[in-house]
């Protein structure tokens, strides 16, 4: 089902420029020794950190999907957000989850080694490709954590394929009913800025510069840091707009969701007003709402010392669906 990717993945030129700019701005990646391997649940050697995990390829009905994994135990699938790649996950956050779980991260359609989907791209189409990945990797019913646009994909996945999701964590995301508040225009423009300092400014509150710097240093530990190409970003923009306008049936059926769901965000999220989290909480029966004070869109990295235990407590006690 899955095949190891040969060395030679080329980073997107624009993303490489972002990484260089970060370094010039003082966000120099820390020098780290190679991580020791850890033995996985199936006896295979697993990397000690997501940073040293190789990029693999899963062959699915919806094309190739590039992914990485670390840790062993019950599976958790992480779905990243708009314009992002696997390199956007803070290594410390992933590694903390991997202490007790098999954590799988992957690239959305048209990013990295993942096959682009036919235009026009939609949230449900990305959810279907994600479903195919779960099947290809034989994850069973993993816990699914979606961040930002990834949270929209996670909702569509849980609505369309509830048998593939044991627990749902929706981080800094919006409902697809047409009632969510839009992303503020200034924040949306900042997110697409070529200046990484401007991008980071809408992920973290102004008084959280230390957390912002730690995040930047963390993602630059990945070899050949990359993100989504411009054409994919444009497709994602239209997909997100359609979702938030209530244009996808999966988004309008969120009130029928019966998967145990945790809704979480930072109270100072510049991209996703807290009212949207409260709306999701009201719409999803039995959901739990957790809001982090003085934290923004990247609250899950800023407050990972508190958020990871919160996620752990939300998972079932014995949810093993291993390989």
Kindly write down the DSSP assignment for every residue of 174-233, as one continuous string: --SSS-SPPPPHHHHHHHT-S-HHHHHHTTS-TT-HHHHHHHHHHHTTSTT-----HHHH
Beta bridge partners of 70: 103
**pLDDT digit of tens for each residue in the chain (323 aa)?**
444 333 233 333 333 334 433 332 333 333 333 333 333 333 334 578 999 999 999 999 999 999 999 999 999 999 999 999 999 999 999 999 999 999 999 999 999 999 999 999 999 999 999 999 999 999 999 999 999 999 999 999 999 999 999 999 999 999 999 999 999 999 999 999 999 999 999 999 999 999 999 999 999 999 999 999 999 999 999 999 999 999 999 999 999 999 999 999 999 999 999 999 999 999 999 999 999 999 999 999 999 999 999 999 988 664 444 43
The CATH code of the domain that includes 210 is: 3.40.50.1820
Asked if residue 37 is part of any domain, the answer here is no
**Structure-block tokens of residue 121:** 């791209």
Question: Domain for residue 34, yes or no?
Answer: no
Specify the pLDDT at position 16.
37
CA atoms within a 13 Å half-sphere pointing along the CA-CB vector of 202: 21
What's the confidence (pLDDT) of residue 8?
Answer: 31
What's the pTM?
A: 0.87
Residues 208, 94 contacting (CB under 8 angstroms): no
Structural domain includes residue 118: yes
In a domain, 39, yes or no: no
- What pLDDT shows up at residue 48? 84
Position 315 scores a pLDDT of 84
CA distance 61 to 45: 28
Range of the domain at 122: 2-21+44-314
State residue 264 phi and psi, 5-degree precision. -145, 155
| pLDDT the model gives residue 232 | 98
Kindly state whether residue 198 falls inside one of the protein's structural domains.
yes
Predicted pLDDT at 36: 33
Domain count, the chain: 1
pLDDT score recorded for residue 108: 98
Distance CA 5, CA 281 (A): 40
Is 70 contained in some domain?
yes
Q: Residue 138 falls within a domain, yes or no?
A: yes
């Amino acid at each position: 089902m899955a095949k190891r990717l040969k060395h030679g993945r080329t980073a997107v030129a624009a993303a490489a420029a972002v990484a260089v700019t970060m370094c010039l701005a003082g966000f120099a990646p820390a020098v780290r020794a190679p991580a020791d391997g850890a033995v996985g649940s199936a006896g295979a050697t697993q990397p000690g950190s997501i940073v040293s995990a190789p990029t693999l390829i899963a062959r699915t009905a919806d094309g190739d999907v590039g992914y990485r994994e670390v840790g062993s135990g019950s599976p958790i699938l992480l779905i990243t957000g708009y314009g992002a790649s696997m390199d956007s996950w803070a290594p410390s956050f992933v590694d903390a989850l991997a202490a007790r779980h098999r954590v799988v991260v992957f690239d959305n359609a048209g990013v990295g080694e993942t096959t682009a989907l036919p235009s026009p791209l939609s949230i449900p189409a990305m959810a279907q490709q994600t479903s195919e990945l779960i099947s290809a990797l034989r994850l069973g019913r993993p816990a699914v954590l979606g961040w930002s646009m990834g949270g929209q994909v996670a909702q569509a996945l849980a609505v369309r394929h509830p048998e593939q999701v044991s627990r749902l964590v929706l981080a800094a995301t919006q409902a697809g009913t047409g009632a969510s508040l839009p992303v503020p225009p200034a924040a949306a423009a900042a997110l697409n800025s070529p200046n990484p300092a401007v991008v980071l400014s809408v992920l973290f509150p102004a008084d959280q510069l230390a957390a912002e710097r730690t995040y930047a240093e963390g993602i630059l530990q990945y070899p050949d840091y990359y993100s989504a190409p411009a054409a994919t970003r444009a497709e994602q923009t239209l997909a997100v707009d359609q979702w938030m306008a209530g244009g996808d049936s999966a988004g309008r059926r969120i009130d029928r969701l019966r998967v145990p769901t945790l809704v979480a965000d930072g109270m100072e999220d510049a991209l996703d007003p807290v009212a949207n989290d409260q709306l999701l909480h009201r719409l999803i029966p039995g959901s739990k709402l957790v809001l982090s004070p003085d934290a923004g869109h990247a609250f899950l990295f800023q407050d990972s010392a508190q958020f990871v235990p919160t996620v752990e407590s939300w998972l079932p006690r014995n949810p093993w669906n291993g390989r």
